[in-house]
Amino acid sequence: MLFMFALGLALGLVLVGACLFVSKREHPAFAGGLVLLGLLLGLLSGIAALDSGPANIVEFQMKPFLSELSEAGSLALAGLAGALVAAGLMFSGKRFPGRLALSAAAAAITVAVVVSLGALHAYDTRADGPHPEGTNTSHTVSATRVIEGLEIPTGLAVAANGDIAIVELQSAKFRLFAPNPEGFEQRIETRLPTPEGRVGLHADFHPDYPAQPYIFVTAETEDGGERYLNVFRGHIQAESAEFTAVVTKLPMAHLEDNGDHFGSAIAFCGRDLFVTVGDTEPAVAQKLRFGTEGVRRDKAQQLDTAIGKILRYRLNGIELEPAGLADSDVPIYALGFRNPFGLACDERTGYPVVAENGPDGYDQLRLAPPGSNHGWPLSMEREMFGEALVNSRDAHLAPTGAAYRTANGGHELLMSAFFSQAIYVLPIDGAGKKGKLRLLREVEGGAFNVATDTAGCVYFTDAVSLWRLDDGRCD
């Protein structure tokens, strides 16, 4: 709003000064000063806006952020064009005296504004609504509530036998539900082994569950006054679960700093467990320049830290063994992530699929081959090393989860989103060609995760419940 006000004021100063010039009023130096002041204010407001925006992280590679300013920029260019026309009329002397010159200048400015806004409208690619541009929203699916009384269930996993695991964010509780003829019954409710006030995050079952009765979860822990992200292995028994830390001291964002770049999603692809770690950037540093002291996001491109990475661990029985690709003490599988808060396995390729939160929009669903670089913080679009499967651009989604299921000779990737309050599906045919993103279901209050069972039945969570889509894939 302040930026628009500054540009409007600058445009007004330019117009007034130009009109005073054209009308041959007294004090031409004053009129010229108004024009120069307007141009200077417009320039300074533009620089201030660029400097305070996300673009500062990419050393002024301005293409993405300029799309946010294009409407205001078009007005500034129109004002400049009008001022130049007015100045030209002023020097035309006898051919355009007095009021005629003033009328011609006003007409020229009006035409410049209209033409610039019309051109902008024709080429504007920004989304008009809460969903990414081009999303098919014509047909959504109803859903049935199957479990109530949850508290911000960010962790969701569905086992082959139908058991459902839930991890609650702020209570750090683990819950296990088993199917019965009436729906689901709760078998286990216990707090994860984390200090009071620390959060629970994500979960996935051992691939041989229930023959191997284990669940892997991520949660915030504390050691020596420092906080970390740990991976715990839970041994599930009849009515209890015993948790053991198996991966410790991964980097962790702090919720009270608005540093919600947790990552922390986990998913098995075969015998490999993938774990995501966010860039952990606190809110106070998110607008600082790339490379400034205290900025953490630059570490997403460094191989000596887990920040901004997908890590890989190979399963040996119930034990995890580091299985990174880089020459590093950290088992790095892929790098260059901001906040990869959702994760699933693309069973066709065996690669993880990441629901990645971008800056000021630019939320993405990405396939992560081994050794891939996903571009953060080198640019907002993050497509210099590979195109995202889904890129929201200016639409703000806040992805929270990802899932996979086979469908119609190909497969579908699903994504849950908190800010746009939706479940989406991206169809991909047998040849690997992706179709059009489709809105499956709007979720009041936001969706916190999504998962599928072996039949392709879709489950998702809102802030207090677990739901099942009524799309014919559920028994």
Q: What is the pLDDT of residues 65-81, one digit of tens each?
A: 344 444 455 555 555 56
Contact (CB, 8 A) for 392 and 101: no
pLDDT, tens digit, 9 for 90 and up, residues 227-266: 999 999 999 999 999 999 999 999 998 877 767 899 999 9
Query: Which residues, other chains included, contact 178 with Cβ-Cβ below 8 Å and sequence gap of 6+?
Result: 162, 163, 184, 185, 187
Helix (H) or strand (E) holding 9: helix 2-22
CB 458 within 8 A of CB 403: yes
- Residue 314, SS3 per DSSP: strand
Q: pLDDT, tens digit, for every residue of 313-358?
A: 999 999 999 999 988 999 999 999 999 999 999 999 999 999 999 9
Average pLDDT over residues 415-434: 96
Stretch 401-417: mean pLDDT, rounded? 96
Question: What pLDDT is recorded for position 416?
Answer: 98
The pLDDT of residue 291: 77
Average pLDDT, rounded, for the chain? 84
Helix (H, G, I), strand (E, B) or coil at 451: strand
Cα 395 to Cα 3: distance, rounded to the nearest angstrom: 21
Q: Which of 165, 403, 162 is nearest to 267 (CA)?
A: 403
- By the 8 A CB rule, do 117 and 110 touch? no
Stated pTM of the model:
0.76
